[in-house]
Amino acid sequence: MTSRGVKQDASVAQRMSVLDRWLPAWILVAMMVGLLLGRAVPGLGQALSSVQLDGISLPIAIGLLVMMYPVLAKVRYDRLDTVTSDRRLLGSSLVLNWVIGPALMFALAWLLLPDLPEYRTGLIIVGLARCIAMVIIWNDLACGDREAAAVLVALNSVFQVIAFAGLGWFYLSVLPGWLGLQQAGLDISMWQIAKSVLIFLGIPLLLGYLSRKIGEKRWGRAAYESSFLPRVGPWALYGLLFTIVVMFALQGDQIIERPLDVGRIAIPLLAYFTLMWGGGYLLGKVLGMTYERTTTLAFTAAGNNFELAIAVAIATFGITSGQALATVVGPLIEVPILVGLVYVSLALAKRFPHSADQSPDDATPRPSN
């Protein structure tokens, strides 16, 4: 996952690590292991959730931090100004994430779950929580622009602190009232949202920046990228797989015992992730963006901040509520869908112009070594 410009030929598979080459299979195995552990070990879910960090199970929190650090250590922070000056990218991301995304989830939730108000409310909360964690992994696997991903994730985090509570009030109370629909409430403070951002984005971002700054000063950029990054790179996927195991272990009972409910919740989520990702790619194509930035735009639009959504649902409605279940099903659907879309992205690579340091033939999953 550290090299760009790897040709799509027979040698690619040989240069990729076993973990990268078989990532979809490992994710499927991680899901099954989590489900089996949740069912086979009595009290495991309760034990995993007994210690929490900002409303999230501590093992999941650790997995997320481990997952995000290596990718953020790869970002070339001295190139961020080229992203912040791209108004098309920043404007498009804001519209997709904070106008289209919440409105689309609201519409899908009401259209597909009109008889299930608790699940509907949970999905609307998911739509309001823009991604600041796993999108880093999906973007990197799809060979998106790392620097652009760092900027857009930071931008989303700022808007999340400012706009989440207000949008929650609008989509759960005001808009349903205007349309003559059932209303709901949301009790969430800006500080609670800020804590989630500081923990799950601030910590790995600071560590990644310090690693780059200190590493380049001590060894130089070439040695930092050729020696240090290949050593820490695989830990991003180790953290991802560990997080998936814990998530499925925590919710194994509910997933297995309530399959019809999970299926109902999954339908609008499938539509949401696909439409948001597709909308990002279509917009990037219309605006003439490079493959790298279009990919980043699409994945940052499709991903959601499940840490925040779960914490808000549990704090407002309780851990056994339907709202909490809906927010938990979110990442369980998001993970396999967005992994699949990584490969769709790579297949679309030749249809887009590429940045100067990568040609259309170079878009392929980055090896870990």
User: In the chain, what are the helix, strand and coil shares in percent, each to the nearest 5?
Assistant: 80, 0, 20
pLDDT of residue 330: 85
- The tens-digit pLDDT sequence of the chain (369 residues) is 444 443 443 343 444 566 666 777 888 898 889 888 888 887 777 787 777 766 667 888 888 888 889 988 999 998 888 888 899 999 999 999 999 999 999 999 999 999 999 999 999 999 998 887 778 888 988 999 999 999 998 888 888 888 888 898 899 999 999 999 988 877 777 777 787 778 877 888 899 999 999 999 999 999 999 999 999 988 988 988 898 888 788 776 767 777 889 899 999 999 999 999 999 999 999 999 999 999 999 999 998 887 778 778 877 787 668 888 898 888 878 888 998 999 999 999 888 888 765 544 444 444 443
pLDDT of residue 18: 64
Cβ(238)–Cβ(102) below 8 Å = no
Q: How many CB atoms lie within 10 A of CB 14?
A: 9
Q: What is the DSSP letter of 6?
A: -
Q: Give the integer Cα–Cα distance in Å for 246 and 329.
A: 13
Q: How many CB atoms lie within 10 A of CB 27?
A: 17
CA 121 to chain CA centroid, Å, is: 20
Tell which residue, 332, 326, 323, has the closest CA to residue 187: 323
pLDDT of residue 119: 94
Q: Give the integer Cα–Cα distance in Å for 98 and 202.
A: 21
Q: Give the integer Cα–Cα distance in Å for 290 and 296.
A: 10
- Name the pTM for this structure: 0.80
Tell which residue, 198, 188, 204, 166, has the closest CA to residue 311: 188
Q: Give the integer Cα–Cα distance in Å for 290 and 269.
A: 28
Q: Give the integer Cα–Cα distance in Å for 248 and 250.
A: 5
- Write the CB contacts of 9 (distance below 8 Å, at least 6 apart in sequence): none
φ, ψ (nearest 5 deg) of residue 357 = -95, 15
Quick one: CA torsion of 242, 247, 249, 255, rounded to 10 degrees?
-140
Fold of the domain built from segment(s) 50-247+257-362: Na+/H+ antiporter like fold (1.20.1530)
Structure tokens at 114: 């009109």
